[in-house]
Structure 1
Amino acid sequence: MDRTLNPAAAKPTATAKPTHWPLRILAMITVWRRNARTRRQLARLDDRQLADAGISSCDRDMELDKPFWRE
């Protein structure tokens, strides 16, 4: 029996390839929720708390202007 590779036989089919798109969508939604939550927390900080964290009010405003899907 000849054991040479057949390129057509080595090619995976569409059904053989595992799809992980549900996990990618779940990970993306998790990041979006974290972004929204941390920005809400950032919005509640007063000037003293911002200074303690080393964040200027301008930096905070720039972060709060971002949509939840951007990091």
Structure 2
Amino acid sequence: MNNKDVPIWEKYTLTIEEASRYFRIGENKLRRLAEENQNADWLLMNGNRIQIKRKKFEKLIDKLDAI
């Protein structure tokens, strides 16, 4: 990790790849969730790149029994 890199647990948004590692959910599953929930408050589109708002997605996961 470069001294200028922000640790993943401190980032506001995560890429699909980062979120997959952080939440231990497959990239394909995360992409499918993003496609099915395009207007979700935990989702942010940066051009054509999917960004996941980490804290909001954590709150969503806290409410679920299965994903």
Is the TM-score greater than 0.5?
A: no
- Considering fraction of residues, name the structure with more strand: 2
Comparing both chains, which one has the higher relative contact order based on Cα–Cα distances under 8 Å and sequence gaps of 6 or more?
1
- Considering fraction of residues, name the structure with more helix: 1
In our comparison, the structure showing a higher alpha carbon Rg is 1
